[in-house]
Amino acid sequence: MKARFNGLSVVKILIYAFFGLFLLIPLLAVFLISFTNEPVNIIGSFTDPAILSSSIEKLKAINLDNYRQIFSNAGYLDSLKNSLSLALVVMVLVILICIPLAYGIARTNMPFKKTISALCTIPLIIPTFISAYAFIIMFGRAGWVTHFYELLGGDGMLINPYSMTGIVLVQVFFFFPYALWPLVAAFKISDVTLEEASLNLGAKNWFTFIFVTFPLAIPGIISSALLIFTVSFSDFGTPIVLAPKDLNLMVVEAYREISGFFNWGGAAILTVIMIIVAAFFFWLQHILTKGKNYGSVSGKPKQQKMVTNKVLTRSLSVYSFLIVLVPLLALLSVLLQSVATTWGKDLLPSGYTLKHYQTIFSTSLGNIQNSVILAIGALVLSVIIAIFVSYFVVRQNSAKMDFMTSIPLVVPGIAFGIALIQTFNVAPLQLTGTAILLIIAYTIRRLPYMVRSTMGAMRAIKQDIEEAAINLGATPLTAAITVIGPLLLPGIAAGSVLVFITVIKETSISILLAPPEWAPMSLAIFQNILRAEYYSAAAMSVILVALVLVLQGLANYIGKKQRL
Amino acid sequence: MGSVIIEKMTKQFGEFTALHDINLEIQEGEFFALLGPSGCGKTTTMRCIAGFEQPTSGKIKIGEKEVEKIPANRRNCGMVFQSYALFPHMNVFDNVAYSLNIKQLNASNPVKQLGIYARLLSKRLGRTPKDIQEKVMKILKYVELDQHADRLTSELSGGQQQRVALARALVMEPAVLLMDEPLSNLDQKLRHSMRNTIRTIQQDLGITTIFVTHDQEEAMSMADRVAVMDKGNIVQIGTPTELYSNPLTPFIADFVGTSNIIDVEIVEQINGTIKLKGDNFLLQSTNTIEKKQAKAIIRPEHIQVLPYDTDVNKEEVNVLEGIVLMSTYLGPTVRYDMKVGDQEIIVDTTYSSGISIFEEGRKVKLSIDHGRVLLI
Ligand SMILES: Nc1ncnc2c1ncn2[C@@H]1O[C@H](COP(=O)(O)OP(=O)(O)OP(=O)(O)O)[C@@H](O)[C@H]1O
Ligand SMILES: [Mg+2]
């Protein structure tokens, strides 16, 4: 075949260039800086010989001092240890909590199953720094739980939210749905015939569960556990709000190095380590789940007998309610705080008002507007890129493109933000502090979701459908508009909503990269929390969550329509 | 309408040559089948004609016109895809109307085009013009689908989907109709009735048709002429009867119907009769061959089985002794696996009540006309 140089190949080059410039070069830069301990201007090196020679000088001075420092600098080593143990504890707790819950949803007729399942989505719509903040409202010195605890005769706080325990609890109660649904799927596909055989042989239910059902679900459990590990390790929102001064965590440490001390080398080395750890666990999870697609199997459930034992289903139901109660109460606490005149150390606010919302609509409308504009910007950019990327991956089997656009999945947000700052804070491409860089960062970070969504839709369109249109007289463009487009639309719509939601929820990138005039809602809430302006933080959080809820509803609606 | 001529067409995928120097001449109005085993290049040939692949070298002419420079969307070849490739987001009517709408689109000015695009994307944004409606309904009636015009294609049975695909290709009045294994997704019974449907429509419209299949029965029963392909080459072109009675190679003999293919040595030639020696048995043939070693082709149904004590004393008939290894009852025929000398031979006999089946181990006589022993 002749290699044709057409419009499409130009687009392909542009996409590679985009990712090279805004993902690969920044990552490379952090990597280099972690050795040189000084900023290296890679882009400048291409345009300015003077910068090039200074870069070369710096690269000559490469040393491992920084890496030795990890072991000498107690702070770094501590932060790594703390972050790893945080992730480990959260991982174990989430799995322990989720197993009965997943079993209840997947295999029993427990009462209120639908309600419980619906409540389990609450944690997913709340950004973690708002959850963390909700925990302060509940468990803080002036929290209503604390008050309640004292009423019952307790002394001091039940749990100090500003502690490792506080961080663990927030993450456990707000990350468990990530593990729940894969686990439900794993329990659903467990081989029912084996279980029935075991029961037929006279085995008791619990025996069957421990020796047949549970072992069959183990691959699913391990993979969910690894996912939780990565999510907890990369989470920025919870630690930044709750970590006390004396608790070092990698994400917080890296943030402080870059935004507090401008310590390039330190930030870079923390970033590199974070990426390596996250990538390693992501990779581990990937090889474990390879070839096992729980989602698609569960689409065609075999006839399964549901456990109906009353004692078991009722206790599972009560248990599940207790689990989902925590996020629900957290959300309600934020809601109450947002309409409270004052809420001291008491079970309920002393009075109610809409004043905080008025304040927001008079002074902070800009933040909402910024969020929406930035999200739309990222959305448009990712739709365009994702359509082409999925075309190249699906129709031209471009594995390189597939790989490259999946890289952002393993890079923790804070790490990506630091990489971008270090690359774009100097000429010739000084973009730090512009809305453009912010939009690009959001886009790259969330593109994998968009690509998956469009790629799925693109895969479902067989090549011969496109050819049939052409055979019937349509030009490739007409075929794209009248056949491919309409068939791709549901995938694009679903992906768009997801991108929009995640951008609005995005914390780390916003906090690191957003300039004051482009501060989105998440940054505004964060700053309010830092300034202890809790009431307006609450009101803004409610608006953010409401926005996410509306969009999520839209996504569900589209999804349902698509399945019809 | 038009003829299709392919001259010295070669197609390579990288290093791999999928088609070697193909030559084909398909007459106007002919029903032409491309027959061959999987991977022999049938689909590739068809895709080259339709314009989805560019031949590496060679020429294709449709209706006397060279098509190399004509892109796939302007070749006017109606194609019926193996998977039907119906548009899942359109109903039966819109699927069939598609090519007519596109024709109108291509003939309109940009402003009108916008309107047509809008109409194609959403029914609410415009109505299909009367003339298109009439044409579509006419062809739908023709394939007996006018009752189902409003259905989504996913709500149709396999045979109905097949007819939508056919109608969609026919409505554009293509110069050639290309069909790539159109019946392979249907069950046995439906396949038989669709064979008749397709053949009837083709005869009715007199449309030049190229039909790809790897099912020899399909090709033989439907086509005017058949080209047998193997590993990217065309091995033989002919009418079904020609292929059957005069296969040029053992491959064709085997592929087109069942054959006994027997290695033989030529002993002598006298007066147009050739004496042959097989594996511990002798044969005579009135066909000619120049080689010393040859293959004798004998169709199973050209062999007669007789009780061992029968006296056959006819000129021009081979009489062989055989032992029944196995007999299989296939409804109207009985198939025997026989041992003749050290050679195994298949024999098909028509079964009619009253004739007893020879049991296994029985010694029998076989008679074969000299003329039925083909030599390759
Ligand atoms: N795009 C391609 N790239 C590389 N090789 C190809 C391509 N298309 C076809 N081939 C090869 O060319 C050969 C012929 O393929 P073709 O699809 O024409 O076979 P076919 O006769 O239609 O077989 P079937 O009966 O299985 O459909 C096969 O060996 C196939 O692997
Ligand atoms: Mg084929």
Q: Residue B208 maps to which CATH number? A: 3.40.50.300
Enumerate residues 157 to 196 of chain B having a beta carbon within 8 A of any beta carbon in chain A: 168-169, 172
Residues with CB under 6 A from ligand 1: B 13, 16, 18, 36, 38-44, 214
The answer, for B118 touching chain A at a CB cutoff of 8 Å, is no
Nearest to B120 among A470, A475, A482 (CB): A482
Cα A250 to ligand 2 centre (Å): 57
Is there a single domain that holds both residue B70 and residue B180? yes
What is d(CA B159, CA A144) in angstroms, rounded to the nearest whole number? 69
Quickly state the pLDDT bin for A70 (edges 50, 70, 90): low
Are B184 and B54 within one domain?
yes
In CATH, A83-336 is 1.10.3720.10 = yes
Rg (CA), chain A: 25
B122 part of contact set with chain A, CB < 8 Å: no
- Global pTM reads 0.72
Q: Across-strand partners of B65?
A: B62
Q: Which of B13, B179, B211, when mutated, tests ligand 1's pocket best, judged by the most ligand atoms within 8 Å of its CB? A: B13
Query: In this predicted structure, what is the pLDDT of residue A3?
Result: 41
**Residue among B52, B76, B106 whose CB faces A467 most closely:** B52
pLDDT of residue A157: 75
Tell me if B72 and A482 make a contact (CB, 8 A cut-off): no
Q: Do B348 and B273 belong together in one domain?
A: yes
Going by pLDDT thresholds of 50, 70 and 90, the confidence category of residue A299 is very low
Give the residue from B191, B210, B245 where a domain finishes.
Answer: B245
pLDDT digits (tens, 9 = 90+) for B180-191: 998 888 888 888
Q: Within a domain: residue B130?
A: no
Of B52, B87, B169, Cβ closest to residue A483: B87
Provide the domain count of chain B. Answer: 2
Whole-number pLDDT of residue A300: 36
3-class DSSP state of B23: strand
Tokens 């083909």 correspond to what residue? B374
Q: Is residue B117 part of a domain?
A: no
The reply to whether B241 and B262 lie within a common domain is no
The percent of residues above 90 in pLDDT, for chain A, comes to 14
Greatest mean pLDDT among A52-66, A509-523, A544-558: A509-523
Question: Do B309 and B239 share a domain, yes or no?
Answer: no
Span of A181-190, A508-517, B311-320 with lowest mean pLDDT: A181-190
Q: Among A2-11, A80-89, A109-118, which stretch is predicted with the lowest mean pLDDT? A: A2-11
Check residue B21 and give its pLDDT: 93
Residue-averaged pLDDT of chain A: 82
CATH number assigned to the domain comprising residue B363: 2.40.50.140
Query: What number of C-beta contacts closer than 8 Å exist between A and B?
Result: 73
pLDDT of residue A183: 86
pLDDT at A302: 47
Q: Do B71 and B181 fall into the same domain?
A: yes
Element (DSSP H or E) covering residue A17? helix A7-19
B83 occurs within a structural domain: no
Q: Average of pLDDT values for A95-105?
A: 90
Tell me if ipTM is over 0.85. Answer: no
pLDDT at residue A290 above 70? no
Q: Is A487 within 8 Å of chain B by CB? A: yes
Q: How many CB atoms lie within 10 A of CB A321?
A: 15
pLDDT band at B376 (very low <50, low <70, confident <90, very high): confident
**How close B206 comes to chain A (CA, Å)?**
20
Q: Are residues B270 and B356 in the same domain?
A: yes
Tell me: pLDDT of B26 over 60. yes
Taking only the tens place, the pLDDT of each residue in A445-475 is: 989 888 888 888 888 888 889 899 999 999 8
Closest CA to A315 of A160, A53, A101: A101
Other CB atoms within 10 A of residue A178 CB: 18
Provide the 8-state DSSP code for A503. H
**pLDDT class of B292 with cuts at 50, 70, 90:** confident
DSSP class of residue B91? Answer: B
Whether B126 is covered by a domain: the verdict is no
Which of A550-564, B99-113, B134-148 has the lowest average pLDDT?
A550-564
User: Across all residues in chain B, what is the average pLDDT?
Assistant: 89
What integer pLDDT is reported at residue B315 of this predicted model? 79
pLDDT-based confidence at residue B139 (cuts at 50, 70, 90): very high
Q: Are residues B70 and B219 in the same domain?
A: yes
What domain range is B23 assigned to? Answer: 4-76+174-245
pLDDT-derived band at B353 (thresholds 50, 70, 90) equals low
State which H helix or E strand residue A356 sits in: helix A355-363
Cβ pair A468:B105 closer than 8 A: no
Query: Range with the lowest mean pLDDT among A210-214, A468-472, B147-151?
Result: A210-214
Q: What percent of chain A has pLDDT over 70?
A: 90
Tell me which of A482 and B123 has the higher pLDDT: A482
Q: Comparing C-alpha atoms, which of B49, B1, B52, B43 is closest to residue B24? A: B49
Nearest CA to ligand 1 atom 4: B13
pLDDT recorded at residue A40: 73
Do B277 and B366 reside in the same domain of the chain? yes
Residues of B in contact with A470 (CB under 8 A): 52, 72-73
Query: Rounded to whole angstroms, how far apart are CA atoms B294 and B359?
Result: 32
Query: Which stretch of A85-89, A343-347, A532-536 has the lowest confidence by average pLDDT?
Result: A343-347
- If one looks up domain A353-564 in CATH, what number appears? 1.10.3720.10
**Does the pLDDT value for residue A106 go beyond 50?**
yes
pLDDT at B340 over 80: yes
Given B83, B88, B168, which is nearest A472 (Cβ)?
B168
pLDDT surpasses 70 at A205: no
Structure confidence at residue A2 (pLDDT): 38
Do the domains A353-564 and A83-336 match in fold?
A: yes
Of B187, B214, B245, the last residue of a domain is B245
> Where are chain A's structural domains?
83-336, 353-564
Question: Across the interface, do B73 and A467 touch by the CB < 8 Å criterion?
Answer: no
Residue B322 lies in a domain: yes
Mean per-residue pLDDT, A546-550: 87
Is A467 an 8 Å CB contact of chain B?
A: yes
